[in-house]
Structure formats: C-alpha cells, structure tokens
Chain A
C-alpha cells in the first residue's frame, strides 16, 4: 500500500505543474454521469476512518485511485487499497478495476451510466466505496480476514440529472462474489450536490464560493437474494464538501453518520485528487506514437 502511495506521489511530482480544472462532484460513494475527460489522468488518494462501537476497534483504510478518460464515453479506474486496525495490524487489502460507460452522448433529463468493476480483495477491506448486502463483521482480526480472498464482480446503474445548479444522482448496485456462493448482494447510493457559487468572480482566489461544492449523500445495503430488505444492513447519511484548491487539485471531506446498528457510528472520509491533462497524448509522443 505504501509503495502504491509513493508511486502516485512520484507521478504527481514528475508530471506536476500542468494546468487543469477538475470541478468535481463532492461525493465519495455516489457517482454522477460526468466521466473523466479523454486523455486525462486523475490521481486521488482517500481514506476512510471508521469510528467503532464499544467493543470494536477503530480502523483506517486508505486507497489510491488512478482514473483515466479512455474516450469521451468510457472512463477506466484502478484502485489499490489497504487497512490498518488499532491494536491489530496493517494489511494490503487488494485492488479493483472499474469501468464506466455512458451510452447517450447528449445531456438528458436523466443520464444513465453503466458501471462494471472487478475486485480482487480480501475480507479485511474497509474502504467502503460501496455498501452492499448485510452489515459487515468488524470483530475478526486482520490475520484471519486477509486469508479470505474474494474475486467479486460489481455492477451499477448510475442515473444522474442536472436540475438548475443541482446534481441529483441515484446508483443501484448489484455485487456477486465469484469466490463463494453468497448469492447476489444489493445496495444503493443517492446524492444531491451543488456548487456554492453561481457566478464566477473575476479574481483568482482560493476561497471564492465557486471553488466549493457541497451536498448530501446516503448509501447502504439492501441484503441479497438470500434475504432482500433492510434487516441487518448498514446505512449512512453523509454531508459532503469539496474545495478546489487550485486549477488541478481538490480536497474532499465527509463525516458519515451510521443509521443502523450494523453501521459504524461515524465514518470520516478524506480525499485529495490531482488531475493531469492530456496524459495520453504526452505518453504517445514520448514513445514516438501519434497522440
């Protein structure tokens, strides 16, 4: 995990200084219909800090994302993730390869996006980029959890709308563990957000209102084909805020409140992202190809 972060930092350092403007939605879990621009690479590092119930241990789960715009309608993303539990150990928990496809070219009242992800993770994974199925068990030690490896396939139907200056997004999630028969697990995420400034000021300022976006998201599990519904599931309600620090980097923060007994009482999420424009073309030129 540490080596992944070091590589990401080196990439940022090596390719830094290239102007870009990300203007992202502030969500951590919910996806909207906006994809990465073709040829751009976004490097993000985020963390999920789980505040425990009594008798449980707190954990810190960092992850690094490399998001690349393959075409105007296809974005691909690689995740590397880890986890550290207080009084236990720190472990690498696996990787994920995510793809999002936008079938319709124009903006519509509701904009669909198809999401497909392959996950090679172990049961110690705690980043909670999605919450599906029943509530997880936080009691077992990492040494046991890391032995339980899972190949999973996750699909989402993302529906997203722009209503005046608001984004409204709904995600419907289906996940299948290919390593053991758990049936199909279900989950959801919904979010609303908007930029805090409607007009852009002429000044180059860090703290202008237009550099901030805020919103609210809610996500949780819906059981599985073995028991669909809200029984023994985790749900969170999370205010979200994003600050565009510079033309190419942004900070995100979200304190999520657990709504059920199966949830952590609080999840604190932090994220930093950095975008490099036109990376595909630059690499193509570097290796003598046509951008």
Chain B
C-alpha cells in the first residue's frame, strides 16, 4: 500500500514537472531593464492586426519554454507571461528582455529577429490572459 502511494506521488511529481505551469515564477532581480529602454513605445501599437504575426512568432520561438498559453513551463523555469508582474511591465521593458535574453537563466537573446518582429511579439504578449475558471 505504501509502495503504491509512493509510486503515485512520484508519478504526480513527474507529471507536474513534465506538464506543469509555472505559477510560482519569481523574476530574476538581476535582470534589470535600463529606464531609457523601458520608456520606448511600441511602434506597432496603432496596428493591432500585426499581433497575428506576433502569435506566429510566439508559437515558433517561445512555446518550447513558455507554453502555448504563455503560462511558463516549470521544467524550463520559464516566466508565466500571464502574471500581473509580467503584464504590468511597459512595452519597452518586454522588448528589451526579448532582445537581450537572460542566458544565465536559460532565456536566449532574440536580437536575431528583426526589430519590428520583436515588437510584434510584445503586441501578442499583451493578449495573453489566464483562462476564465470553468
């Protein structure tokens, strides 16, 4: 009986690691955005339709760690992009973080993407919201 319980607990732990969302995400205090970078406005803010391209970029570049809904995979220690602590950041700060990455915490730099594509990603990130409770 004890063995079954232990096995069940291990299976649950494994499943939570494999498929769990990172609701316990804590931002890296050392990953600071310079104020002038945070103050930059999104040049695509008046073109909300370009967020559709941002979604495509998100699915290609980000879901591996952040999940399709952006809630962040525990096993990747990835940020839950739905959390208010992320959504309250200005567009310029999100753009800077996408551009620079945080390689010591596993977040790569996406400066290889053209600048407007990174702004498209920021635009799409704004649409990520927690699913309403069933």
Interface residue ranges, A against B (CB under 8 Å): 19-21, 23-25, 32, 34, 37-38, 71-73, 102, 105-107, 162, 164-165, 167, 194-195, 197-202, 204, 210, 247, 277-278, 281, 291
A199 contact set on B, CB distance < 8 A:
50, 53, 114, 116-117, 120
Beyond A107-B99, A165-B115, whether A200 also contacts B57 by CB under 8 A is yes
User: Does B102 touch A at the CB level, under 8 Å?
Assistant: yes
Q: A197-B114, A199-B50 are known; give 10 further A-B pairs, CB within 8 A.
A: A32-B112, A34-B111, A38-B106, A38-B108, A102-B103, A165-B114, A195-B114, A202-B53, A210-B117, A291-B75
Kindly count the residue-residue contacts between A and B in the assembled complex, taking CB atoms under 8 Å apart. Answer: 82
- Distance to closest chain A CB from B17 (angstroms): 8
Majority DSSP secondary structure for residues of B touching A: helix
B112 contact set on A, CB distance < 8 A:
23-25, 32, 34, 162, 167
- Distance to closest chain B CB from A221 (angstroms): 29
**Is A72 within 8 A of B111, CB to CB?**
no
Beyond A199-B53, A247-B60, A291-B75, whether A105 also contacts B102 by CB under 8 A is yes
User: Does B67 touch A at the CB level, under 8 Å?
Assistant: no
User: Does B54 touch A at the CB level, under 8 Å?
Assistant: yes
User: Does B100 touch A at the CB level, under 8 Å?
Assistant: yes
**Is B116 within 8 A of A105, CB to CB?**
no
B57, B63, B116 pick with most chain A CB within 10 angstroms? B116
Beyond A34-B109, A165-B115, whether A201 also contacts B104 by CB under 8 A is no
Return the 4 tightest CB-CB contacts between A and B, nearest first. A72-B103, A202-B52, A200-B53, A21-B60
User: Does B127 touch A at the CB level, under 8 Å?
Assistant: no
User: Does B66 touch A at the CB level, under 8 Å?
Assistant: no
Beyond A72-B103, A72-B104, whether A19 also contacts B115 by CB under 8 A is no
A24 contact set on B, CB distance < 8 A:
112
A37 contact set on B, CB distance < 8 A:
108
**Is B117 within 8 A of A200, CB to CB?**
yes
- Distance to closest chain B CB from A10 (angstroms): 24
Q: How far is the CA of A20 from the CA of B60 in the complex (A)?
A: 6
User: Does B10 touch A at the CB level, under 8 Å?
Assistant: no
